[in-house]
Chain A
Amino acid sequence: MHFASRILLLVLLALPPVTLAQERIASLNLCLDQVLLNWVAPEKIASVTWLSANEHYRSAPLPEDIHLNRGRAEELLRLEPDLILVGQFGAQRAARRLRDLGLNVVSIPDAYSLEQLLEQLGAMEDALGQLQPLQQQKRRLEKRLALPVPQEKASALILSANNITYGSGLLEHQLLEHAGFANLAAERGVQQLGRVSLEEVIALQPDLLVFYGGEKDFAIAHLAARHPVLKNYIDSGRTYTLPAELGFCPALVVADVLQQLTDKRKTIVNAE
């Protein structure tokens, strides 16, 4: 009996961990696509959404002969994945149907704040198991958030496409605050999204001007960011460009962004 249990234990230890049992993973959500593509071995990915074929969203190479789904249940059924990830919104009907058919469907909550982001990373960890890049990302973020927020604040203002700025209640605002910046848009009472003209940018004189990245091509929407009046900011390095991923899948980049913003603040404060 004692011996038998020992043998069983040995056998169990020799088997791969249970949590990595999922060999074929599919995703019905753009952000979860990116998480899989970036952090999971390509041969384990059964399917991602068709949106991920768009270069605008893709940050990691797309494995060959991967199935690009359009969020329909029958497509995924045929692939027989071990795990299907869905977001909080979108493709809900397909998810329900797949779940009814007995497939392993896991819903990952969306994240619009740092708190939700930690929850989201936790949910991913539960679903995907001991995934090293994922756990590393989560640990980095927790460590960053545990650090005290610098008292001596520098000012910052976000100038995104179409003169959009980000005010209180948004992840971008939280990131600025955590890195030791005072978000001038929030101070002016902007909640969620607001508009800021170039004149206001000049009048407010933020220490750091933050652009939202992604679009490398010329577009009238980005005319403000290209205006010569901002040349001073660009020449003196007092600008920062948020990665486009922050907009649709912050989990991938949030730790890096926080780190970079903190560094940026340090150089600005030291320069003064």
Chain B
Amino acid sequence: MLTQNKSALVLFALALPLALIAALASGPVSIDLGAALGDGWRSENSDAVILWQLRLPRALLAILVGAALGMGGAAMQGMLRNPLAEPALLGVSSGAALAAILMLYYGFSLPGFWGLAWQSGWLLPALAIVGAFCAVACVWLLAGRGASASRLVLAGVAINAFLSALMALALNYAPSMFAMQEIVFWLLGSLANRGWDQLLLALPFVLIGAVLLFCARNYLRALSLGEASAASLGFRGRRYPLLVLAGIASAVGAAVAVAGTIGFVGLVVPHLVRPLVRQDPGLLLWASALAGALLLLLADIVVINFVGAQELRIGAVTAFIGAPFFFWLIVSARRGQLL
């Protein structure tokens, strides 16, 4: 059992570079991959430009966003002691999306300095991250001192509903021609036309999130025993849940900022890999990051190779790929295994 689990994780780790190569090889234009690689990063050759400036950042962004979502989902499930939790539950995604929407449709009225930052494009994701933090802070304040997991979930559901209503309201008054369509982008997620700038923007926030969650890994382990036991094992006070929430907001907020809200990954990936790490909530963070990255990269390969009038929504594809695993998991749970 144990060796089987380990080999499954090794398989994931090996599949990631293979999927990366597949992602680099797929696209509407066929390029000579070897020559483009040889030409190097600075080459003006169009094959090299396509590889280094278009395909590589997009593939790496898929890996980064997938890892952030997987890790965020694992942390959220661990903190709430609930396998049905996902990062969006505490308003992280809707907070980020609402901030982005407000900026998109009402941001142009801001004075000159902001207008400049607006043009460069980084303000939008940065604000989305702030929005994610604000949403989590609202949940935190609403839940109150020393909130239990169930109170946090309740507060999260309430804040989430409120934010969704605000999003609809903001949309109703949106003056832009693209308003409706932009909402679809934000709510279903997309990696199209993303470049190194978006990757570099999200990377530090995702890394900060990973470090925060790393610091909280033993808290998540202790929390498998419940809040009182965790407190007696030295994880007392609000410091640790705040650490986890900040980690999730940072990693997932950054992912939402550059790729929109891609569902499913944060919910199902931790489920899929939990048996592979012997249910350890600490190790689950990294295993989920790995599996989330792989799932999103595979989904993006499908998106790229899908021929159609419109680009397929990556959120739909993640469900397409991930759901069968989930079915299998449910069926095997019925036979008294796992779960």
Contact = CB atoms under 8 A, between A and B. Distances in A.
Residues of B contacting A: mostly: helix
A3 to B, nearest CB: 65
Interface in A222-243: 223-224, 226-229, 232
Contact of A229 (B53, B121, B175): B53
Interface residues of B, number: 36
A54 B177 CA distance: 11
B182 A220 contact: yes
Contacts of A221: 178, 181-182, 185
B110 to A, nearest CB: 11
Contacts of A115: none
B104 A203 contact: no
A198 B27 CA distance: 10
Given A197-B28, A200-B28, A227-B193, A219 B118 contact: no
Interface in B31-58: 31, 44, 46-47, 49-50, 53-55
B40 to A, nearest CB: 16
B318 interface: no
B261 to A, nearest CB: 13
A231 to B, nearest CB: 9
Interface in A58-86: none
A195 B196 CA distance: 23
A161 interface: yes
B118 A218 contact: yes
Nearest to B190: A220
Contact of A224 (B46, B104, B193, B196): B193
Which of A195, A218, A229, A232 has the most chain B CB within a 10 Å cutoff? A218
Nearest to A57: B177
A104 interface: no
B108 A161 contact: no
B197 A202 contact: no
Contacts of A224: 192-193
A93 interface: no
A161 B46 contact: no
A202 B28 CA distance: 11
A217 interface: yes
A227 B176 contact: no
Contact of A219 (B28, B49, B53, B182): B182
B29 A200 contact: yes
Which of B29, B118, B309 has the most chain A CB within a 10 Å cutoff? B29
B119 to A, nearest CB: 8
Contact of B193 (A163, A200, A202, A217): A163
Interface in B151-201: 175-178, 181-182, 185-186, 190, 192-197
A165 to B, nearest CB: 12
Contacts of A142: none
Contacts of B53: 202, 227-229
Contact of B50 (A203, A218, A223): A203
A41 B339 CA distance: 77
A205 B178 contact: no
A217 B104 contact: yes
B256 to A, nearest CB: 13
A199 B50 contact: yes
B107 interface: yes
Contacts of B50: 199, 202-203
B176 A219 contact: yes
A228 B197 contact: yes
A199 B194 contact: no
Contacts of B107: 217-218
Contact of B49 (A195, A197, A217, A229): A229
Given A199-B28, A202-B54, A203-B29, A228 B177 contact: no
A38 B196 CA distance: 43
Interface string A206-221: 0000000001111111
A217 B121 CA distance: 10
Nearest to A161: B178
A218 B124 contact: yes
A54 B124 CA distance: 24
B190 A202 contact: no
Given A199-B50, A220-B190, A229-B54, A215 B182 contact: no
Interface string A143-161: 0000000000000000001
B46 A223 contact: no
A96 interface: no
Contacts of A199: 27-29, 50, 54-55
Nearest to A162: B181
A219 B29 contact: no
Interface string A187-202: 0000000010111101
B143 to A, nearest CB: 33
14 contacts: A197-B29, A198-B54, A199-B29, A202-B29, A203-B47, A215-B176, A215-B177, A218-B107, A218-B118, A218-B121, A218-B124, A219-B178, A219-B182, A223-B192
Interface of B: 27-29, 31, 44, 46-47, 49-50, 53-55, 103-104, 107-108, 118-119, 121, 124, 175-178, 181-182, 185-186, 190, 192-197, 309
Given A224-B193, A227-B195, 13 more contacts: A162-B181, A163-B192, A197-B29, A199-B27, A200-B28, A202-B50, A202-B53, A218-B119, A219-B104, A219-B178, A224-B192, A228-B196, A228-B197
